[in-house]
Amino acid sequence: MKSKTEYLWFNTKKQREYINITPDVEQIVQRSGIREGMVLVSAMHITAGVYVNDAESGLIKDIDEWLERLAPFNHNYLHHRTGESNGDAHLKSLLIHHEVIVPVTGGKLDFGPWQQIYYAEFDGQRRKRVIVKIIGD
């Protein structure tokens, strides 16, 4: 069994952004030489997430609006008593989750139709990273 680890770095221009990282993950899988296995893609920050879904702009806007309804910005979060102002970003991260595992078959990501990997940033405008770890043969 082999493994390969690389990191993707982000510094978004906006507080909330959704970035299709599928091409980056595909390149890392190719560089790994692993033909059969799994790839873990995980946000290494508690105010970001990683998810798999369609790369359709209307859906991405729907996801953003849904998250804002479920975890809106609010000055009254208890977390803000610590001097922070990003309580909603922590909650949005919990809803999206911080990682996905995707099968690798024949040296490629083994997706269903329309599936793409997204990095979701909820407290941006600062440097953050995502780990991409592939294991297999």
Q: How many domains does the chain have?
A: 1
pLDDT (tens, 9 = 90+) of the chain, 137 residues, equals 999 999 999 999 999 999 999 999 999 999 999 999 999 999 999 999 999 999 999 999 999 999 999 999 999 999 999 999 999 999 999 999 999 999 999 999 999 999 999 999 999 999 999 999 999 99
What is the spatial distance between Cα 96 and Cα 52, in angstroms, rounded to a whole number? 10
86 is in which domain, residue-wise? Answer: 2-136
Helix (H) / strand (E) containing 70? helix 57-70
What is the spatial distance between Cα 47 and Cα 126, in angstroms, rounded to a whole number? 11
Q: What is the pTM of this model?
A: 0.95
CATH code of residue 50: 2.60.120.460
Name every residue whose Cβ is closer than 8 Å to that of residue 67 and which is 6 or more positions away in sequence. 92, 95, 96, 122
What is the spatial distance between Cα 133 and Cα 56, in angstroms, rounded to a whole number? 26
